[in-house]
């Protein structure tokens, strides 16, 4: 699918952001191993979450999708699937599922699309092998398809990670759930797994040295989850509302988990006009209504812990930087190169087609704001966040932006273009 996004006036109104992708995956996977059925509302219905749901179904778990809710019914004694489990475009599916499966005495094969088949898996297969799991893949376990022969995990292993990754941390905790395991990361990545496991009754706590220690889990209580709306999806509207003149957008009930709310801090650092109204949240995740109004942004430095806390939002923050006064430096974000695409080179290339001066760094980029001009052209092939980031730019630059393979948005935000159109401006 090719779309051409052009300026079409201010964005004004309320946007119903879809459910949080990370929490959606976890609400299915974790309830699938609970002691009874659970109800999930607000689940993201997208390609990535469908991959997790379909994999669980193939293993015998009940995933009953009804209007407005999904019922997850665990199955004692999982079925060994006769076909490979297709993880599609979803890194969270393949990495969390490989840990989840390591604890089960089953033989499974995990495959993905072109993009996923290029992404590094040693970060999970390495620790899982160290736990005693039999897991393999191309390039000595670094590339999918992965094969998992589970049920052989040793108790009490300790994993001092050299990257901060919620997917890796979660795979280890899931693999070690029956026997106990400890994991520590160099910086704290998003903690949805820890929050949800604790809410389900797991004995999981962090000690003063930063180790997450999980005691062997005998029973996990089923957890009804009201999935918050996805801050990573909201980020496109936070930037669009900031850079498109006269815009004012209201984004209700969005998740603002501090471990991943860096986009709010980064935009504030750039002078954005953002109001956050925290709400009482019954679940494990904090939520808020957010209002954004257009204002002239200025350059800022996004690095260190802040870069980790807004890693998924950096492509669209780079678009904001291109519209800002002055220079924005993004550093400490080399992980961006191993996402659904090499997002550093994709963003740099896309911004250059828009006339922006941008220097590529190994771990980020330096963007000189203020000279964005269209028409631009990007190919989103395999990367939803690239498609949406440049769609936002298209609403701002004269001549707009053409996006090829824009259907990548189905991974995380299937109705993104419909909503953008509803607020005026796609063709
Ligand atoms: C995710 C973790 C992050 C993030 C991804 C979702 C998760 O990846 O980029 O979109 O749900 O655990 P890493 O774990 O690779 O940092």
- DSSP state letters, 79-142: PPPSS-EE-TT-HHHHHHHHHHHHTSS-EEEEE--TTGGGS--HHHHHHHHHTT-EEEEHHHHT
Q: What's the confidence (pLDDT) of residue 427?
A: 42
- Per the DSSP assignment, residues forming a β-bridge with 108 are 148
* Atom 13 of ligand 1, residue of closest alpha carbon: 165
Q: Are both 167 and 49 inside the same structural domain? A: yes
Task: Count how many domains the chain has.
Answer: 2
Q: What's the confidence (pLDDT) of residue 426?
A: 44
Q: Which of 113, 312, 383, 407 is catalytic?
A: 312
Centre of ligand 1 to C-alpha 95, Å, is 10
Is residue 70 within 8 Å of 40, Cβ to Cβ?
yes
Name the token pair of 292.
């954004």
Whether the model clears a pTM of 0.75, i.e. scores above it, the answer is: yes
Centre of ligand 1 to C-alpha 75, Å, is 27
Q: Are both 9 and 27 inside the same structural domain? A: no
In a domain, 289, yes or no: yes
* Distance (Å, whole) CA 271 – CA 351: 21
In a domain, 222, yes or no: no
Pocket test for ligand 1, best of 162, 166, 263 (most atoms within 8 A of CB): 166
Closest atom of ligand 1 to 96 CA is: 12
Per-residue model confidence as pLDDT tens digits over 46-62: 999 999 999 999 999 99
Domain with 366, as residue range(s), is 3-19+228-422
Query: Looking at 198, 217, 236, which one is the last position of a domain?
Result: 217
Centre of ligand 1 to C-alpha 329, Å, is 22
Phi and psi based region of residue 383 (left: phi greater than 0; alpha: psi -120 to 50; beta: remaining): beta
Q: Are both 172 and 278 inside the same structural domain? A: no
In a domain, 32, yes or no: yes
Is residue 174 within 8 Å of 213, Cβ to Cβ?
no
- 368: Cα separation from own chain's centroid: 27
In a domain, 427, yes or no: no
In a domain, 223, yes or no: no
Q: Are both 243 and 319 inside the same structural domain? A: yes
In a domain, 404, yes or no: yes
Q: Are both 52 and 142 inside the same structural domain? A: yes
Average pLDDT by stretches of 10, the chain with 427 residues:
95 97 98 98 98 98 97 94 98 98 97 98 98 97 98 97 98 98 97 98 98 97 98 98 97 98 98 97 93 98 98 98 98 98 98 97 97 91 96 96 97 97 67
Q: What's the confidence (pLDDT) of residue 425?
A: 47
* Atom 11 of ligand 1, residue of closest alpha carbon: 22
Burial class (CB in 10 A: 0-12, 13-18, 19+), 190: buried
* Distance (Å, whole) CA 19 – CA 284: 15
User: Could you tell me the strand order of the sheet in which 376-379 lies?
Assistant: 3-5, 401-404, 376-379
Closest atom of ligand 1 to 22 CA is: 11
Instruction: Please name the residues in contact with 132: beta carbons below 8 A apart, sequence gap of 6 or more.
Output: 152, 153, 154, 157
Centre of ligand 1 to C-alpha 92, Å, is 6
Q: Which residues line ligand 1 (CB under 6 A)?
A: 22, 92, 165-167, 170, 189-190, 311-312
Q: Are both 342 and 368 inside the same structural domain? A: yes
Closest atom of ligand 1 to 163 CA is: 16
* Atom 4 of ligand 1, residue of closest alpha carbon: 312
Taking the alpha carbons at both ends of the chain, their separation in whole angstroms is: 12
Active site residue 113: no
Is residue 363 within 8 Å of 339, Cβ to Cβ?
no
Q: Are both 63 and 201 inside the same structural domain? A: yes
Q: In terms of Cα–Cα distance, which of 30, 304, 48 is closest to 164?
A: 304
Query: Looking at 175, 192, 217, which one is the last position of a domain?
Result: 217
Name the token pair of 348.
């740099």
Centre of ligand 1 to C-alpha 305, Å, is 15
Centre of ligand 1 to C-alpha 337, Å, is 13
- Alpha carbon distances (Å) from 61 to 5, 80, 96, 200, 282: 41, 12, 16, 18, 27
Q: Cite the DSSP H helix spans in 244-399.
A: 262-269, 304-309, 314-323, 343-353, 384-394
Pocket test for ligand 1, best of 21, 25, 91, 197 (most atoms within 8 A of CB): 91
Closest atom of ligand 1 to 312 CA is: 9
Q: Are both 414 and 398 inside the same structural domain? A: yes
Closest atom of ligand 1 to 189 CA is: 16
Pocket test for ligand 1, best of 21, 190, 232 (most atoms within 8 A of CB): 190
Q: Domain with 151 in it: what CATH number?
A: 3.65.10.10
- DSSP state letters, 293-305: E----B--EE-HH
Q: In terms of Cα–Cα distance, which of 70, 88, 84, 86 is closest to 24?
A: 70
Q: Are both 212 and 252 inside the same structural domain? A: no
Query: Looking at 182, 217, 252, which one is the last position of a domain?
Result: 217
Q: Are both 192 and 103 inside the same structural domain? A: yes
Q: Are both 185 and 261 inside the same structural domain? A: no
Q: Are both 313 and 364 inside the same structural domain? A: yes
Centre of ligand 1 to C-alpha 131, Å, is 22
Is residue 69 within 8 Å of 41, Cβ to Cβ?
yes
């Amino acid at each position: 699918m090719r779309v051409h996004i052009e300026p079409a006036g201010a964005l004004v109104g309320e946007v119903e952001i879809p459910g949080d992708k990370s929490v959606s995956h976890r609400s299915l996977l974790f309830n699938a191993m609970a002691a009874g059925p659970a109800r999930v509302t607000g689940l993201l219905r997208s390609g990535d979450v469908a991959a997790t749901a379909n994999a669980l179904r193939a293993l015998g778990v009940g995933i009953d999708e009804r209007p407005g809710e999904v019922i997850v019914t665990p199955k004692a004694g999982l079925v060994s699937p006769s076909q490979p489990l297709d993880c599609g475009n979803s890194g969270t599916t393949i990495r969390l599922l490989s840990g989840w499966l390591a604890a089960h005495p089953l033989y499974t094969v995990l495959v993905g699309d072109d993009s996923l088949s290029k992404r590094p898996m040693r970060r999970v297969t390495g620790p899982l092998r160290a736990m005693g799991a039999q897991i393999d893949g191309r390039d000595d376990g670094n590339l999918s398809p992965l094969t998992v022969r589970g049920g052989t995990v040793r108790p009490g292993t300790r994993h001092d990670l050299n990257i901060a990754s919620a997917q890796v941390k979660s795979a280890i905790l899931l693999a070690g759930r029956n026997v106990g395991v400890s994991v520590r990361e160099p910086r704290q990545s998003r903690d949805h797994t820890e929050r949800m496991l604790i809410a389900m009754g797991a004995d999981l706590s962090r000690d003063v040295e930063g180790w997450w220690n999980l005691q062997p889990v005998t029973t996990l209580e089923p957890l009804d989850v009201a999935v918050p709306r996805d801050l990573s999806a909201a980020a496109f509207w936070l930037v669009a509302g900031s850079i498109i003149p006269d815009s004012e957008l209201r984004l209700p009930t969005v998740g603002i988990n501090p471990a991943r709310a860096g986009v709010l801090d980064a935009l504030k650092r750039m002078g954005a006009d953002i109001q956050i109204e925290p709400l009482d949240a019954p679940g494990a995740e904090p939520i808020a209504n957010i209002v954004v109004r257009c204002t002239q942004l200025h350059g800022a430095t996004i690095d260190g812990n802040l870069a980790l806390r807004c890693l998924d939002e950096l492509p669209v923050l780079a678009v904001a930087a291109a519209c800002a006064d002055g220079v924005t430096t993004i550093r400490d974000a080399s992980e961006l190169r191993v996402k659904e695409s090499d997002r550093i080179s994709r963003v740099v290339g896309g911004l250059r087609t828009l006339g922006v001066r941008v220097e590529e760094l190994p771990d980020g980029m330096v963007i000189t704001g203020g000279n964005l001009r269209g028409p631009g052209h990007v190919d989103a092939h395999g990367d939803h966040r690239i498609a949406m980031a440049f769609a936002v730019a298209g609403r701002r630059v004269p001549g707009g932006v053409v996006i090829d393979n824009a259907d990548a948005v189905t991974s995380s935000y299937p109705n993104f273009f419909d909503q953008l159109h509803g607020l005026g401006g796609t063709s």
